Amino acid sequence: MTCEELRGEYGAWALGIADEPERSEIAAHLARECPECTAGVRSAMVTAAALSGAVTEGNPPRRLRRRIVSMVERKPKRSFAWLPWAVSAALAIALVSIAIPGRRDTQALLTQQQDMTKLKQALSILNDPAARDVTFGDPAALGRVFVSSTGVVLIAAHLPKIQDNQTFELWLLPGSGDPKPAGTFRGETISNSSSAVYVYQGSTATAVAVAVTVEPEGGSPQPTTTPFIVSKL
Amino acid sequence: MIFPGLILALELSGQHDEDLAGRLQRREPDAMKDLYDRFGKLAYSVVLAIVRDASIAEDLVQETFLRVWNRIQAFEPGRGALGPWLVAIARNRAIDHVRSSSSKMDRNAFELDVREHPALFVDMQREVENTDHARIIRAAIKKLNPNQQKVIELAYYEGLSQTEMAERMGQPRGTIKTWVRAALGVLREELGQAAAA
């Protein structure tokens, strides 16, 4: 199409509402730096931009600024050297078990798929440039928690011993209101130390801290014991 | 409905864009703080008005700022208008989200990429600075007839194509196009007169 045929659609294109074929045609003219269409669309962009002044004012939460600034802050390169060797070993075992050929039985395949899914979920959260990470450590447990907007990866060692009818439960603590349950998990005992790598997928938008408690098997809707891990984000 | 603070942010942008864009290009982390302080509320307000979900709006605004950070090298500090560019990216993210949620995702990435190119936002502040945009845009919108106001609303907040507006409003596509052109013409004229005054 010619520039003259497209001229009447510059405004619609600037707003993103032009129909085909004009939409693609204008994009193509701009891509090849057509001077007439570029000037016309630039002018139309002024009008489109001005419409933002008619928008109702919203108040972004303060954490949004932190999230955005943290994306580009220079941080020391994440190193996993700090990981207790037991947790590293647990991860290695999980990865090896995924890779072992010949494990054909259904349960093993299911476990491998679950491990792989868990690994992908964890990597997705760890690779989020906006993910916050907090190290925690006290006599009860030590480790690190990574929190993105879409989930949590908790890596912990020296977990307390629990009974067979008990479980660990992760909680997202909002600024106000009740803790939000974020799933249960159990540790793996390696060399007399209980460790865990737990991945929670879900929104963390309101969380200002995460916590872990010991709960009856199956978990609780609200904590019934004092948290042995509390990490402020 | 009017948002004077937002417009003020856009007007002020012309005075500081060059410096701020240069700092962003040099990867100064504090530049991102200043960028957010200047345009964060504006971007959030635009996105929230479209997606109507605070949590989703946060994610999309974060994505917007990351996109600006990643594409800032293509920005011409002496000529570009940082605020309008950022707001356009924010609005595109929001419209894309709404449309993908309603299975109307038909814009290709190429077109979106072209529409967000910084080259389309150069020399903009010459036309917009030193004018009372809040008053102007309010006055301009009031001059639109109800049908024109409706198509601008459907365009800005829902990103409906003119064909989709025709279906929604039960009008021929040609009529919708006429309303859109007339509405944008009035807005453009009012903005132009104000800039010339």
- B10 has a chain A CB within 8 A of its CB: yes
Phi, psi of A182 (to 5 degrees): -130, 35
Look at residue B128 in the predicted model and tell me its pLDDT.
Answer: 44
Residues B11, B131 contacting (CB under 8 angstroms)? yes
Q: Letter for the amino acid at B142?
A: K
Residues A57, B45 contacting (CB under 8 angstroms)? yes
Look at residue B12 in the predicted model and tell me its pLDDT.
Answer: 44
Helix or strand run (H / E) with residue A135: strand A132-137
Q: Do B136 and A203 touch (CB under 8 A)?
A: no
- B99 has a chain A CB within 8 A of its CB: no
Nearest to B69 among A16, A38, A72 (CB): A72
Task: Work out the angle between the directed axes of helices B54-71 and B82-101 (0-180°, nearest 10).
Answer: 130
Q: Do B115 and A44 touch (CB under 8 A)?
A: no
Mind listing the domains of chain B with CATH numbers? 4-128 (1.10.1740.10), 133-196 (1.10.10.10)
What does the pLDDT look like over A3-13, one tens digit per residue?
999 998 999 99
Look at residue A202 in the predicted model and tell me its pLDDT.
Answer: 85
Q: Do B120 and A38 touch (CB under 8 A)?
A: yes
Residue A170: beta bridge partners? A212
Q: Do A60 and B191 touch (CB under 8 A)?
A: no
pLDDT of A135 strictly over 90: no
Phi, psi of A61 (to 5 degrees): -65, 155
Q: Do B120 and A203 touch (CB under 8 A)?
A: no
Look at residue A77 in the predicted model and tell me its pLDDT.
Answer: 46
Q: Do A30 and B161 touch (CB under 8 A)?
A: no
- Smallest CA–CA distance, residue B197 to chain A, in Å, is 17
For residue A122, give the 3-state DSSP assignment: helix
- Smallest CA–CA distance, residue B16 to chain A, in Å, is 18
pLDDT grade, residue A140 (50/70/90)?
low
**Distance separating alpha carbons of residues A26 and A18, to the nearest angstrom:** 9
Q: Do B128 and A17 touch (CB under 8 A)?
A: no
- A180 has a chain B CB within 8 A of its CB: no
Look at residue A106 in the predicted model and tell me its pLDDT.
Answer: 63
Which ipTM did the prediction report? Answer: 0.81
Q: Which residue has the higher pLDDT, A191 or A58?
A: A58
Q: Taking CA B152 as the corner, what is the angle to CA B150 and CA B154, rounded to the nearest 5 degrees?
A: 70
Nearest to A19 among B45, B137, B163 (CB): B163
Instruction: Compute the count of residue pairs across chains A and B with CB atoms less than 8 Å apart.
Output: 198
What is the average per-residue pLDDT within A18-35?
A: 87
Domain residue ranges of chain A, discontinuous segments joined by +: 3-54, 69-232
Q: Do B159 and A16 touch (CB under 8 A)?
A: yes
**Distance separating alpha carbons of residues B17 and A47, to the nearest angstrom:** 19
Look at residue A74 in the predicted model and tell me its pLDDT.
Answer: 61
Percentage, residues of chain A above pLDDT 70: 77
Tens digits of pLDDT across chain B (197 residues): 444 444 444 444 455 677 888 899 888 878 999 999 999 999 999 999 999 999 999 999 998 998 898 888 888 777 778 888 999 999 999 998 888 766 554 554 455 666 777 777 766 654 444 346 667 887 889 999 999 999 999 999 998 989 999 999 999 999 999 999 999 999 988 877 665 55
- B18 has a chain A CB within 8 A of its CB: no
Nearest to B161 among A17, A24, A72 (CB): A17
Look at residue A103 in the predicted model and tell me its pLDDT.
Answer: 47
Look at residue B130 in the predicted model and tell me its pLDDT.
Answer: 39
Residues A148, A142 contacting (CB under 8 angstroms)? no
Q: Letter for the amino acid at B96?
A: D
**Distance separating alpha carbons of residues B119 and B103, to the nearest angstrom:** 31
**Distance separating alpha carbons of residues A81 and A193, to the nearest angstrom:** 18
Question: Where would I find the H helices in chain A?
Answer: 3-6, 10-14, 22-31, 35-50, 62-72, 85-99, 106-126
What does the pLDDT look like over A79-119, one tens digit per residue?
444 454 445 545 554 554 444 444 456 666 666 667 667 77
Q: Do B46 and A52 touch (CB under 8 A)?
A: yes
Query: Please, which residues 147-176 of chain B have a Cβ atom closer than 8 Å to chain A?
Result: 152, 155-156, 159-163, 165, 173
